[in-house]
Amino acid sequence: MLRVPVSNQDSSAVKLVLDDGTAFDGYSFGFKSDSPVVGEVVFNTGMVGYTEAMTDPSYSGQLLCFTYPLIGNYGVADYTFDENGICQGFESTGIKTRGIIVSRASETPSHYRMKHSLGQWMQSEGITGIEAIDTRELTLHLREKGVMMGVISASVQDGIEALRSTSDYSSIDFCRQVSTKSPVKYGKNAAGSIAIIDCGLKLNIVRCLVRRGFEVTVFPYETKFEELDSHYDGVVISNGPGDPKNCVPAIELARTAIDKSIPTLGICLGTQIIGLALGAETFKLKYGHRGQNKPCVDLKTGRCLVTSQNHGYSVDEKSLEGTGLEPWFRNADDKTLEGLMHENKPCISVQFHPEASPGPVDAGYVFDLFSDLVRERS
């Protein structure tokens, strides 16, 4: 196994133990937990964007492995807010990953906005990391065996015992844990008003809608359709963590909104929720799509986009018959479904992240198409 020198001399030896018994030796950094840290082990192939990824609520309950060999080289800025009250440079106001896995964490970052090193930021928020393991070997193992539960612990035995007593990732309703607890409003109503159902919302979705002139209200995950004021011109079902089949409240709301012909946009988990709401099926991908260079083909135009992605589940294209939904995007690599469009309702959805953050902005026009649907209804 590759041994990578670590710069933090106070690091202590720990292990990453996978559910299949595979173990990796490494050193702890960030918050030094006295107890094992358990989560679903997944990997992200992005070269930048660790602050956005780590604050993305979709990673809740997961141990995130970064495949890029050096993470943290531009440090971490303070949480600041723009004129609309939206946190800048992060996708939420706190780290949402259960822990992170890196080959090497930089202890000498440099950036003009930097206030903390990666390790200092994690320490302040109680998040554990493991470094100096061969992340290439780990990634290849997950690609071959599939994502699985894992634990950062002091010993293999401690890790095995922790895994035995932990619920499987797919059985937990993480959306309820990360969603806002009360409605929050952003922006001014120049183009219309949008209700976002927060299943684990990335803040750049809000930024993209506010820039297009919308007043945006973010509602808790368990909001019922009847609780939405009648003046909302469109509904967005956000991204989020976990198995979409656990998202019963959002599924019911999406079904009603679509039935009433309210312009509806689903993003990432929102696509799976819309599919389930109209009778399609979802399934878990072997190792998911997480990175910033994922090619997707727009089946309406033939154009291939480079997209930012973070998902472990997908809508089964074979189950679309009779749902009123038709394929909109398809992944150019594994041919899985990456977008849906309703045949006669103002409903569109994408499995990737059109808001990027991090990643390319090729797919930003998805928000423009949604804006058109809202204007047409008005």
> What residues act catalytically?
268, 353, 355
- C-alpha 216: how far from chain center: 20
**For the chain, counts of helices (H) and of strands (E):** 9, 21
Q: Do the beta carbons of residue 152 and residue 37 sit within 8 Å?
A: yes
Return d(Cα 184, Cα 93) in angstroms, integer. Answer: 14
Strand partners, 339: 329, 350
Could you give the C-alpha distances from 373 to 35, 169, 339, 377, in angstroms and in order? 50, 36, 16, 6
Closest by CA position to 143, among listed 38, 233, 67, 54: 67
Return d(Cα 52, Cα 46) in angstroms, integer. Answer: 11
Non-local CB neighbours of 265 within 8 Å, separated by 6+ positions: 234, 235, 236, 237, 347, 348, 349, 366, 367, 370
Placement of tokens 């964007």 in the chain: 49
Encoding tokens for residue 299?
């089946």
Query: Phi first, then psi: what are they for 360, rounded to 5°?
Result: -70, 160
